């Protein structure tokens, strides 16, 4: 799809137009010489070193992806805690040196680091309000699982590698908001770089509770707790900071909560569903899920006019007590039907499924809510770097030394 088509698609579905996806070209920079007086002195010239063919030429090829396409976190933890800074970055490695490429499962180290975002504890007060339910408090800039903003991934046992619980926040080291920071991923074998890539580690604090909870003189969190106390006879204002999942079960955190109470997702969606008319937003989900600025739903579906509720249902459906939050999610096969194609593995979600000899679905398609080609440039970086154009990884020679003569098998098994 051409860039112009993206712009049209976005405009046609009534959203603000975003910059078109960068397709098939890599910017060449030719920096001008700059000669200044004094101590600034002479400056290095930038190279004009673009990759001419856009297809990887390293022994391995690595694909990075986030598991959800967006992770939310509180902007302030002093009153209540919904979600901590916690991001999961995955990578799958393919050895492409022979005609029959295969997944690399052992014998490599995969390092990651978030570019320009190397610390969090000065940008979030999570470490000041670390709740005991999360275990002993970790040092600054270290997340719940012990990972930091740079480190080494571990094998998941599912054919890929992951670093979980990365405590990245959406403010870079220069102070600018960036909910789509890039992680640099480097694969080494015996100390030699075998492949590298870049993947988005999306995170946002844009849970805009203040749109409704905005009583002058008190914080948004206090307003929420006061209303909860009034409606449910609790005394949360005196128990701050309140971890919501302490009482309301939350699969995202793996906390069981009080079994007599609705889970957090059900409680939130059913309580707020009748009140959403108070907010005048084109996409009402962005009142709580990031967000008006972030617009985390940025993928090819969005570009083609698919809305949140088209896949997830309305708030009452999402808040159904029979739904298992984070586990009962939309399936590709609900909408996509194509002769000879198979989609998710039985009993698994897109983000867990594999096909084509164990290749993760996300390896080729990217993360949920960021299925390529996206309307955001940054989510297209990986595909563009790897195969020379944005979109699904559909260039066979990214992994195969030659293009196979057989039709591509979009199936769970491929023998």
Partner 1 sequence: MSTKISNELRFAVIVGGATLIAGQAAAQSYQVTDLGDLGGPMSMAFAISPSGLPVGTAATPDGNLHAFFNDAGQVWELPPADDDQQSWAFGANDAGRIVAMSFDLGELHVHGQMWEAGVSTPMGNFAPRAMNAANVVVGYISRDVTDMGFMDRPAVWVNGIIGELPTLGGNSGYATAVNDLNQIIGFSDTAGDAQVRATLWLGGTARNLGTLGGTHSQAFGINDMGDIVGVADDAAGRPRAFRFQIDDAGVVVTRTDLGTLGSVDSYACAVNERGEIVGTSNDRAFIWFGGLMTDLNTRIPAGSGWRLSRAAAINNAGVIVGSGWHDGYPKAFMLTPMLVGDTNCDGAVNNFDIDPFVMALTDPVLYATSFPDCEILHADANGDGVVNNFDIDPFVVLLSGG
Of residues 95-124, which lie at the interface with partner 1 (CB under 8 A)?
Answer: 113, 115-116, 118-119, 121-122
Q: Does 219 bind partner 1 (CB under 8 A)?
A: yes
Residue with smaller CB distance to partner 1, 101 or 290 = 290
Question: What is the spatial distance between Cα 415 and Cα 409, in angstroms, rounded to a whole number?
Answer: 10
- Dig out the tokens for 296 from the structure: 């985390």
Tell me: does residue 178 bind partner 1 (CB under 8 A). yes
User: Binding of partner 1 at residue 15 (CB under 8 A)?
Assistant: no
Judged by CB under 8 A, does residue 13 bind partner 1? Answer: no
Compute how many residues bind partner 1; rule: CB under 8 A. 84
Q: Per DSSP, what are the bridge partners of residue 89?
A: 66, 163
Distance CA 99, CA 339 (A): 28
Residue of the chain from 9, 10, 15, 22 that contacts partner 1 (CB under 8 A): 22
State in angstroms the smallest separation of the CB of 295 from partner 1.
7
414 exposure class (CB count in 10 Å sphere: 0-12, 13-18, 19+): middle
Q: Is 40 in the site for partner 1 (CB under 8 A)?
A: yes
Q: Which helix (H) or strand (E) holds 8?
A: helix 3-12
Dihedral pair phi/psi, residue 185, rounded to 5°: -120, 125
Which of residues 22 and 90 has its CB atom nearest to partner 1 in the complex? 22
Interface with partner 1 in residues 140-159 (CB under 8 A): 140-141
Q: What minimum distance in Å lies between the beta carbon of 302 and partner 1?
A: 12
Distance between CA atoms of residues 75 and 169, nearest Å: 9
**Residue of 2, 176, 232, 336 that binds partner 1 (CB under 8 A):** 176
Q: List Cβ neighbours of 49 (8 Å cut-off, separation of 6 or more).
A: none
Interaction of residue 136 with partner 1, rule CB under 8 A = no
Q: Is 381 in the site for partner 1 (CB under 8 A)?
A: yes
Q: Is 377 helix (H, G, I), strand (E, B) or coil?
A: coil
Longest CA–CA separation in the chain, Å:
73
Judged by beta carbon, residue 295 or residue 353, the one nearer partner 1 is 295
Query: By 3-state DSSP, what share of the chain in percent is helix, strand and coil, each rounded to 5?
Result: 25, 15, 60
Of 305-344, which residues contact partner 1 (CB under 8 A)? Answer: none
Q: How far is the CB of 80 from partner 1 (least distance, A)?
A: 12
- φ, ψ dihedrals at 44, nearest 5°: -70, 150
Q: Is 278 in the site for partner 1 (CB under 8 A)?
A: no
Among 294, 363, 366, 367, binds partner 1 (CB under 8 A): 294
Taking CB under 8 A as the rule, which mask of x and - marks residues 347-376 in contact with partner 1?
---------------------------xxx
- Window 229 to 268, contacts with partner 1 (CB under 8 A): none
214 binds partner 1 (CB under 8 A): yes
Q: How many residues does the chain have?
A: 415
Q: Does 299 bind partner 1 (CB under 8 A)?
A: no
Q: Please give the span between the terminal C-alpha atoms of the chain, in angstroms, as a whole number.
A: 31
Binding mask 58-97 for partner 1 (x = CB under 8 A): x----------------xx---------------------
Q: Does 397 bind partner 1 (CB under 8 A)?
A: no
Shortest spacing between CB 357 and partner 1, in angstroms: 26
Residue of 50, 135, 274, 305 that binds partner 1 (CB under 8 A)? 50
Candidates 136, 157, 175, 346; binder of partner 1 (CB under 8 A) is 175
Token look-up 């999402």 returns: 318
Least Å distance, CB 1 to partner 1, is: 18
Query: Is there binding between residue 45 and partner 1 (CB under 8 A)?
Result: yes
* 109-114 and 354-355 strand pairing: unpaired
The Cβ-side half-sphere exposure at 279, using a 13 Å CA radius, reads 21
Is 190 a residue that touches partner 1 (CB under 8 A)? no
Q: Which of 65, 194, 170 is CA-nearest to residue 117? A: 170
- Find out whether 147 and 168 touch, Cβ atoms under 8 Å: no
In Å, what is the CA distance from 106 to each residue of 31, 91, 164, 190, 365?
Answer: 42, 13, 18, 12, 24
């Amino acid at each position: 799809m051409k860039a112009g088509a993206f712009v049209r698609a976005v405009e046609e579905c009534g959203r603000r137009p975003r910059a078109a996806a960068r397709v098939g070209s890599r910017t060449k920079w030719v920096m001008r010489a700059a000669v200044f007086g004094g101590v600034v002195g002479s400056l290095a010239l930038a190279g004009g070193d673009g990759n001419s063919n856009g297809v990887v030429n390293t022994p391995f090829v690595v694909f990075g992806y986030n598991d959800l396409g967006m992770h939310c976190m509180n902007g302030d933890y002093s009153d209540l805690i919904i979600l901590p800074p916690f991001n999961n970055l995955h990578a799958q490695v393919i050895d492409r040196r022979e005609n029959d490429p295969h997944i690399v499962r052992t014998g490599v180290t995969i390092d990651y680091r978030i570019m320009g975002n190397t610390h969090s504890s000065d940008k979030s007060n999570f470490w000041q309000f670390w709740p005991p339910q999360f275990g002993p408090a970790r040092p600054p800039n270290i997340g719940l699982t012990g990972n930091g903003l740079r480190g080494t991934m571990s094998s998941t046992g599912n054919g890929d590698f992951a670093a979980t619980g990365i405590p990245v926040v959406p403010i870079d080291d220069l102070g600018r908001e960036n909910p789509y920071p890039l992680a640099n991923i480097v694969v080494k074998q015996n100390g030699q770089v075998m492949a590298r890539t870049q993947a988005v580690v999306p995170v946002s604090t844009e849970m805009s509770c203040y749109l409704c909870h905005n009583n002058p003189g008190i914080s948004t969190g206090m307003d929420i707790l006061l209303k909860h106390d009034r409606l449910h006879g609790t005394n949360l204002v005196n128990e701050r900071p309140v971890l919501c999942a302490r009482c309301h079960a939350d699969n995202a955190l793996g906390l069981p909560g009080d079994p007599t109470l609705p889970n957090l997702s059900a409680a939130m969606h059913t309580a707020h569903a009748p009140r959403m008319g108070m907010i005048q937003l084109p996409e009402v989900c962005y009142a709580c899920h990031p967000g008006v600025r972030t617009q985390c739903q940025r993928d090819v579906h969005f570009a083609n006019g698919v809305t949140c509720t088209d896949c997830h249902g309305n708030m009452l459906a999402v808040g159904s007590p029979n739904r298992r939050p984070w586990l009962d999610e939309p399936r590709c096969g609900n909408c996509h039907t194509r002769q000879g194609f198979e989609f998710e593995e039985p009993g698994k979600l897109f983000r867990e499924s594999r096909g084509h000899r164990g290749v993760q679905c996300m390896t080729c398609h990217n993360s949920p809510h960021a299925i390529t080609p996206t309307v955001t440039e940054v989510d297209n970086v990986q595909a563009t770097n790897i195969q020379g154009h944005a979109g699904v990884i559909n260039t066979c020679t990214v992994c195969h030394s030659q293009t196979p003569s057989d039709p591509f098998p979009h199936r769970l098994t491929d023998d």
